Structure 1
Amino acid sequence: FMLMLQGDDGGWTSVDKAIGSPKLEWFNAANVFVDIMVDHAYVECTGSILQCFATIKKMRPHMYTPKMKKAGERGVAYLLNSQYSDGSWEALWGLCFTYGICFVTEGLKMSGISKDHEAIQKACSYLWAFQKEDGGWGEAQESALARKYIQAEKSVVEQTAWAIIALLNGGYAKDVRLIKAVNWLIDQQQVDGDWPLQPMSGLFYKTVMIHYRNYKRYFPVLALQKYQECLSVK
């Protein structure tokens, strides 16, 4: 099924293979949603599929086929070609540049791309430029409309977790800036183990914000787990 959804450009869509012309967007009658007439390839979806293929290769090698290998190579090429000149990747289903960079770097790294690859290091440099004084990251919801990173007033738990995951893929586990981010994330955890309510970080077709309640729980745990795993690697 996943192989079937890969587009001609090598990327993966969200729910259906892109089979219509982008010109169909001219007939979009919605007042709010952007790019809804045909499905498009998305960097975060592509990064996720690459993670899946890499996991199959590692955990179930007998299931890893030549078709998966070829599809993965095309997916890597799509991601490398989709990187903006400033080093970022723009996502559609979450805000926006922190989300995209997180999923793409994870997919590239799991696919065998070195942490020292120019694309990954450019993405890391992009993220470092937006780290807040407290160690976290906060990308404002206005980033979705502006199509550029806009600083939020405060750091956001899940966005900080996304940045940490991406920077760990760049080999920065022992960087003092990364340690500061990890400590900030830990300090936000409440006594009951939960994290406090965060601003909406989910996104729908570039215009509508969605509150995914488990983002503030899932992604910090994932980031902290990855951090510990990176520290244990000699």
Structure 2
Amino acid sequence: MDDTAAALKAIPLNRRPADWTRGLAWLLSMQNKDGGFAAFEKNVDHPLIRRLPIESADEAAVDPSTADLTGRALHALGLKAGYTENHSAVRRALHWLYRRQEKNGSWYGRWGVCYIYGTWAALTGMKAVGVSGEHPSVKKALSWLKSIQLPDGSWGESCKSCEIKTFAPLAYGTAVQTAWALEALLQYEDPREPLIQKGFRFLIDDGLHQPKHLVYPTGIGLPKQFYIYYHSYPFVFPLLALSAFIKQMEMREKR
């Protein structure tokens, strides 16, 4: 589902309309009955499967809806298909996200580390389909992201988060997680806000130059067993966040 959503955003609709429409139809057909989107399969989350006598069966034997996949599916549906909250698939996905938001305002992301990741995916998806910044879920999520910013302007989260299922901060920030947090905030916040400026200053001056900010694993293979360091992440996601920042500043200058 993740790759199909990304492909739909990359393929120009006017160049390959038939193929693009087929991809969109397939993505919509894979929406789970609970309204969310999973990674590989549809409706594979029966509670009995989680009780199989296999180590980490509750993580490896099922493929439930997740905030990261649901958020990115919404991002594709809003950004390229032009769907809004009025569309039934979008409405069901949003309701799933609202129900799964943590009490502190974050969302748990299954395939990245972890609550920063899930919250980034949820907010970018919600913004793409037109969810207002006045929505209670948006306000709670933004407040949570601001509350966990480190003194140097960065954001960092430990892989321990997915083991204990609650946010576990790192003692230092990472370039990837800082970029996720900044892009999420930019969906609704003024790019001139001091904490956003401070975050980008961290990325430019420090985050992309110090090894410890670049090499901490931010991908999840299987909680408690293995985590993934993607070599491109420390460069791709800061570039996406910087691009979002420049676009927001340009929009304000044109007003």
Shared fold per TM-score greater than 0.5? yes
Residues 101 and 73 (structure 1 numbering): CA distance in 2 closer, same or farther, change over 3 Å?
Answer: same
- Alpha-carbon distance, 1:141 to partner: 1.6
Runs of 5+ unmatched residues, structure 1 = 59-63
Q: Give the secondary-structure state (helix, strand or coil) at the position aligned to 1:22.
A: coil
Query: Contact conserved, 2:36 with 2:92, CA < 8 A, in 1?
Result: yes
**Distance in 2 (alpha carbons) for counterparts of 1:5 and 1:101:** 22
Q: Give the secondary-structure state (helix, strand or coil) at the position aligned to 2:60.
A: coil
Runs of 5+ unmatched residues, structure 2 = 1-25
Query: Contact conserved, 2:51 with 2:57, CA < 8 A, in 1?
Result: no
Residues 187 and 28 (structure 1 numbering): CA distance in 2 closer, same or farther, change over 3 Å?
Answer: farther
Residue 246 of structure 2: aligned partner:
228
Query: Contact conserved, 1:116 with 1:170, CA < 8 A, in 2?
Result: no
Query: Contact conserved, 1:173 with 1:179, CA < 8 A, in 2?
Result: yes
Query: Contact conserved, 1:138 with 1:154, CA < 8 A, in 2?
Result: yes
- % identical aligned pairs: 28
**Residue 8, structure 1, aligned to residue 67, structure 2:** no
- Alpha-carbon distance, 1:12 to partner: 0.3
- Alpha-carbon distance, 1:19 to partner: 4.1
Residue 152 of structure 1: aligned partner:
170
Q: CA RMSD in A?
A: 2.2
**Distance in 2 (alpha carbons) for counterparts of 1:159 and 1:142:** 15
Q: Give the secondary-structure state (helix, strand or coil) at the position aligned to 1:203.
A: strand
TM-score normalized by the length of structure 1 = 0.88
Residues 227 and 35 (structure 1 numbering): CA distance in 2 closer, same or farther, change over 3 Å?
Answer: same
Deviations 1:72-99 (A, max 9, x none): 1211111111111110100110011110
Bigger relative contact order, structure 1 or 2 (CA pairs below 8 A, ≥6 apart): 1
Task: Give the alignment partner of residue 90 of structure 1, picking from 86, 91, 108.
Answer: 108
Residue 17 of structure 1: aligned partner:
42
- Alpha-carbon distance, 1:28 to partner: 4.6
TM-score normalized by the length of structure 2 = 0.81
Residues 125 and 196 (structure 1 numbering): CA distance in 2 closer, same or farther, change over 3 Å?
Answer: closer
- Alpha-carbon distance, 1:4 to partner: 1.9
Deviations 1:163-195 (A, max 9, x none): 0011112323221011000111111334xxx99
**Distance in 2 (alpha carbons) for counterparts of 1:171 and 1:45:** 23
Residues 138 and 20 (structure 1 numbering): CA distance in 2 closer, same or farther, change over 3 Å?
Answer: closer
